[in-house]
Structure 1
Amino acid sequence: MALAGGVLGRLASTAVAAGKPASRRLLATAAAAAPGARLAATPPSAAVAAAAAAAAPKKKAGIAGAIRSALGEAASPLPPGYAVDEEFLHETPTHVTTLSNGLRVATERHPVGAATVGVWVDAGSRFETEDTNGAAHFLEHLVFKGTAAMSQRSLETTVENMGANFNAYTSREQTAYFGRAVTAHVPALTSILADILLNSEMSPASVERERDVIIQEYAEVNKLPEEELFDNLHATAFQGTPLAQTILGSEDCIRSLQRPDLRAYVKRHYQPHRMVLVGAGDVDHDTFVTQADKLFGGMRSDPAAESAAQLVAARPCFLTGSDMRVRDDHAPDAHFAIAFESCGWAHPDAVAFMVLESLLGGWDRYATTGDVVSSRLANGLHATPSAKRVGPFNTSYADTGLFGLYAVAAPHDLDDVVSVMMGELVRFYTSVDERALAAAKMALKTRMMAAADGSTAAAEETARQLLVFGRKVPLAEWVARIDAVDAAAVKRLVGKYVWDREVAVSALGNVSGLPDLTWIRRRTYSTLY
């Protein structure tokens, strides 16, 4: 297992070369394959030591003992002799350079004639105060409205003439600004990106114009049942903590935010050590780093600025068993979500949750496969007339997460729908079908590889992993970690996070027939219902 990261001077760089011959020696007994190991950055010495222990003659302590000594008691090796398919070892290297101010610059080169360039910031609505909720999303709108050197119209014309495009999004923990252009225009695209992030005017007139736009967006989003449902789920599950705040912010906050509030947010959170500049596609690393140093090297790193981890530790989030319902007896359907508290991105159980999500599977009555899906959950719901659509969700944050099931159903016999959902989820505490588990793991690997298709997806995944893990996790390691999740691991996971644990419920629509919170809570510790 190689690491993507490290500071070796102002322009020093390291690479994750998962496709190099040496990496083929890292079998499942190495640190990369230990299912109990965190996904955060691991010292190279630990991986090397574990791999050496696997290759050397077995000592008294055994291979398992060697791994535990390197990774801790939570580590657990895969079956002896396990090796990742060599096809997964041929991966495009991720090169990472850390500038002197702490900004990380990463590239993945794919000679396709175009590239995606973007900046991902370790900041989102979670890091706002109650009075400034919505500031991160507000900034996402404002940065494209002109700079000291370029008006909004000039910016739009320049981007159009290049045949490029820009986009941005805000989540609860991250904000992204990125664009895509042909190879010849990548330097110009990078320059524009730096200009809008470092020199955005945020004029009072622009603030007022965007305020109206965001209010309209707020109204439109609230018309989407799924968006409202999951905002309400966060509000009730994480009540009293920063993750309860919505991404767009409340209408009152949107109307009250002013230019000084936004500038204060930028000053505090847009620090170089919390930002990653990524280029994926037809981009040369050394050239890209040289330009990045010229454009972003002048950013001052405030020694007193907190890291995202420090801010998370200062205001931790946790689930409170609770229930929020928005009842509308005239609505045609009931939408509801049942959630349990899971774990953070880098927690040892994170990959097992990914496998459990795949094992549960989704189901839609009106899909062509509605009655022939192999999932027991799907079969049980297909036999429940009022059920229309059900799917699992697995949302991770730095220190916690939400795992559960989301459903759409007709308003009658909702207790039957919930009984099937909870019964199948809780059943994994005592019984896991080995063939279904193998199929779920294969499906998860397939989706993971398909999701990385294209330069934009590659850039986004690289940036996200650098922010949450501190490195780019090689595909071979993901495969090994997924393979390491066996039936016993799934049972332990359900026993730890689901069996007799508090739940949060969010519901809206025609939900008068939805069982109450106590009824649902009782279904967390019995498979008899």
Structure 2
Amino acid sequence: MATPLAEYTELTTLENGLRVATEQAHAECETVTVGVWIDAGSRYEAESNNGVAHFLEHMAFKGTKKRSQRGLEVMIEDMGAHLNAYTSREQTVYYAKLFPRDVDVGMDILADILQNSLLDAGAIERERDVIMREMEEVNKQHEELILDLLHEAAYRGGGLGRTILGPEKNIKTISRRDLQDYVKTHYTAPRMVVCAAGVVDHDRLVDLSAKHFADQPRVPRTTFAVDFDAAKFTPTEVRLPDANEPKAHVAIAYDGAKWTSEYSMPLLVLQTMLGQWDRLNPVSGGTASPYALARDISQNDKCHSYLTFNTSYKDAGLFGLYLVCPPDGVSDSIATVVRHFASLAKPEGVDHADVQRAKSQLKANIISQLDALAHVCEEIGRQFLTYDRRMPLVEVIARIDAVTPRDVVATAKRFLAHKDHALAAYGAIDGLIPYDNCHISNFM
């Protein structure tokens, strides 16, 4: 059932700097998603404690001063609720999906696990094996693995280049003190946003936030560095051959745009234009087949699939493609992609109908996502942490409508044409040409 939301966001800032933001659903909605978005993720870590934010997320559900792990699980089950968390490179999120009558309890639980986790030494030791198994599972997911390798290549030596889970040696040595110090450094009120979407009363949520988070400090309680290191794009490569993998998995990425860049919306349109394609399901979702790159890729029979990505951060971004190819087709596929990117920087290389089609598809995708309260809540939290405001849907649509074919050409020229790129490759990649030969000048 669709759950359309009101077209405005209510915001209140508490005395300690904590922000409370809500979007009210219409009457037919019967649930609410509420959570805490924190301006802290893996890029805020140092090499020595890389992985601590994700480790801390795991420990949040292992018991607090007033709730055992089992007691917490039973309480969530009895409410018919869902409690979860995730860590990204820039944010840590704890959220609950529940019925409106249980918002009071949900807020109490969220505050409890954020502020009163036991961080028991025995539980920490047990969780090391859990995270190691998670790492094994992540590495089996080729897209996850290749994007981690790509970040390593694109931001070599920097915070964005490190993985969210951290290296094995850190997972085995992260201590209770490391976890406590991370909380004391980064879990401060001005870096936190309490968000809710669905059937929720804003004033009630403000009262609950004041009740549970009034003592959240405004400033760090440690002397550790609070901010992340500035992102610096490094056009290098990482290759990980695997004789047991029959396909070549390759991602190339160009230095993209941060969230607040004037190019962020044209890049989204360009991403939609490039689309995605799968040889086994070429019209999946109706996304890729109308566009030129999909036609070029499919004609040479040297690629199984590709997926375009456009990842933005506070001060940087990555724009590129992830390709899956037979071993003898990977170099030809990369050449096709690089040549196509270069062609987009010429007015004759951009079809006006493709631009209009991409804009319509992008708007439809954004509007359809409003049916998911969890996604809406995520957008509220992310936007307040990145823009310091909520961008209304009408503004998003207007910005998309304002993108012209000339803007797309200018954006391609700015970010793609004759630019150096980062590259990550995994699997059957013996046939992949040397990195230095992947430049457009070698494919003309």
Give the structure-2-normalised TM-score: 0.94
Tell me the alpha carbon deviations over residues 287-340 of structure 1, each in whole angstroms, 9 at most, x when there is no partner: 1111111111121212788999x724xx21111111111113442110000110
SS of the aligned residue for 1:97 comes to strand
Structure 2 equivalent of residue 336 of structure 1: 250
Structure 1 equivalent of residue 280 of structure 2: 366
5, 8, 11: which one pairs with 1:96?
A: 11
Structure 1 equivalent of residue 426 of structure 2: 508
Q: Which runs of 5+ in 1 are unaligned?
A: 1-89
CA drift at 1:194: 0.7
373, 391, 402: which one pairs with 2:307?
A: 391
Distance of aligned partners of 1:437 and 1:213 in 2 relative to their CA distance in 1, 3 Å threshold: same
SS of the aligned residue for 1:421 comes to helix
CA drift at 1:440: 0.4
2:32–2:99 CA contact under 8 A, matched in 1: yes
Distance of aligned partners of 1:424 and 1:206 in 2 relative to their CA distance in 1, 3 Å threshold: same
SS of the aligned residue for 2:177 comes to helix
1:115–1:183 CA contact under 8 A, matched in 2: yes
CA drift at 1:209: 1.4
SS of the aligned residue for 1:472 comes to coil
Query: Is residue 2:245 matched to residue 1:327?
Result: no
Q: Which runs of 5+ in 2 are unaligned?
A: none
Structure 2 equivalent of residue 120 of structure 1: 37
Query: Is residue 2:268 matched to residue 1:354?
Result: yes
Distance of aligned partners of 1:218 and 1:300 in 2 relative to their CA distance in 1, 3 Å threshold: same
Structure 2 equivalent of residue 476 of structure 1: 394
Please, which moves more after superposition, 171-180 or 368-377? 368-377
Tell me the alpha carbon deviations over residues 23-57 of structure 1, each in whole angstroms, 9 at most, x when there is no partner: xxxxxxxxxxxxxxxxxxxxxxxxxxxxxxxxxxx
1:429–1:494 CA contact under 8 A, matched in 2: yes
130, 135, 156: which one pairs with 1:213?
A: 130
* C-alpha separation in 2, matches of 1:305 and 1:242: 20
- Between structure 1 and structure 2, the one with the greater Rg is 1
Tell me the alpha carbon deviations over residues 190-211 of structure 1, each in whole angstroms, 9 at most, x when there is no partner: 1111111111111111111111
Structure 2 equivalent of residue 109 of structure 1: 24
Structure 1 equivalent of residue 406 of structure 2: 488
SS of the aligned residue for 2:61 comes to coil
Tell me the alpha carbon deviations over residues 222-253 of structure 1, each in whole angstroms, 9 at most, x when there is no partner: 12211111111111110011111100000000
Tell me the alpha carbon deviations over residues 431-490 of structure 1, each in whole angstroms, 9 at most, x when there is no partner: 211110000011111111112222211111111111111111011111111112111111
1:91–1:475 CA contact under 8 A, matched in 2: no
Structure 2 equivalent of residue 172 of structure 1: 89
* C-alpha separation in 1, matches of 2:292 and 2:282: 17
Structure 1 equivalent of residue 384 of structure 2: 466
* C-alpha separation in 2, matches of 1:120 and 1:498: 33
274, 279, 282: which one pairs with 2:196?
A: 279
* C-alpha separation in 2, matches of 1:498 and 1:385: 24
362, 374, 381: which one pairs with 2:297?
A: 381
CA drift at 1:91: 4.4
* C-alpha separation in 2, matches of 1:228 and 1:238: 16
SS of the aligned residue for 1:100 comes to coil
Matching residue's letter, 1:320: T
Query: Is residue 2:154 matched to residue 1:154?
Result: no
CA drift at 1:99: 0.3
2:254–2:416 CA contact under 8 A, matched in 1: yes
CA drift at 1:386: 2.2
* C-alpha separation in 1, matches of 2:214 and 2:223: 20
CA drift at 1:414: 2.4
213, 232, 241: which one pairs with 2:149?
A: 232
* C-alpha separation in 2, matches of 1:307 and 1:277: 25
1:360–1:425 CA contact under 8 A, matched in 2: no
Matching residue's letter, 1:367: N
Tell me the alpha carbon deviations over residues 343-398 of structure 1, each in whole angstroms, 9 at most, x when there is no partner: 21111111111111001111111015279811111111111212110111111111
* C-alpha separation in 1, matches of 2:329 and 2:68: 58
Structure 2 equivalent of residue 20 of structure 1: none
Matching residue's letter, 1:420: T
CA drift at 1:117: 0.8
Structure 2 equivalent of residue 138 of structure 1: 55
Detail structure 1 runs of 4+ shifted over 4 Å in the superposition: 303-308
Q: Considering only aligned residues, what root-mean-square deviation do their CA atoms show, in Å?
A: 2.0
1:329–1:512 CA contact under 8 A, matched in 2: no
SS of the aligned residue for 1:131 comes to helix
Structure 1 equivalent of residue 369 of structure 2: 451
* C-alpha separation in 2, matches of 1:93 and 1:415: 49
Query: Is residue 2:121 matched to residue 1:204?
Result: yes
306, 314, 324: which one pairs with 1:408?
A: 324
* C-alpha separation in 1, matches of 2:7 and 2:329: 52
* C-alpha separation in 2, matches of 1:306 and 1:463: 27
How many matched pairs? Answer: 435
82, 89, 103: which one pairs with 1:186?
A: 103
* C-alpha separation in 2, matches of 1:93 and 1:319: 36
* C-alpha separation in 1, matches of 2:60 and 2:38: 14
Distance of aligned partners of 1:332 and 1:127 in 2 relative to their CA distance in 1, 3 Å threshold: same
* C-alpha separation in 1, matches of 2:199 and 2:341: 45
SS of the aligned residue for 2:23 comes to strand
Give the structure-1-normalised TM-score: 0.79
Structure 2 equivalent of residue 17 of structure 1: none
* C-alpha separation in 2, matches of 1:368 and 1:242: 37
* C-alpha separation in 1, matches of 2:138 and 2:45: 20
1:334–1:411 CA contact under 8 A, matched in 2: yes
Distance of aligned partners of 1:150 and 1:182 in 2 relative to their CA distance in 1, 3 Å threshold: same
* C-alpha separation in 2, matches of 1:243 and 1:277: 25
1:452–1:461 CA contact under 8 A, matched in 2: no
SS of the aligned residue for 1:300 comes to coil
Tell me the alpha carbon deviations over residues 153-204 of structure 1, each in whole angstroms, 9 at most, x when there is no partner: 1111111111111011100000100011111111111111111111111111
Structure 2 equivalent of residue 26 of structure 1: none
1:194–1:295 CA contact under 8 A, matched in 2: yes
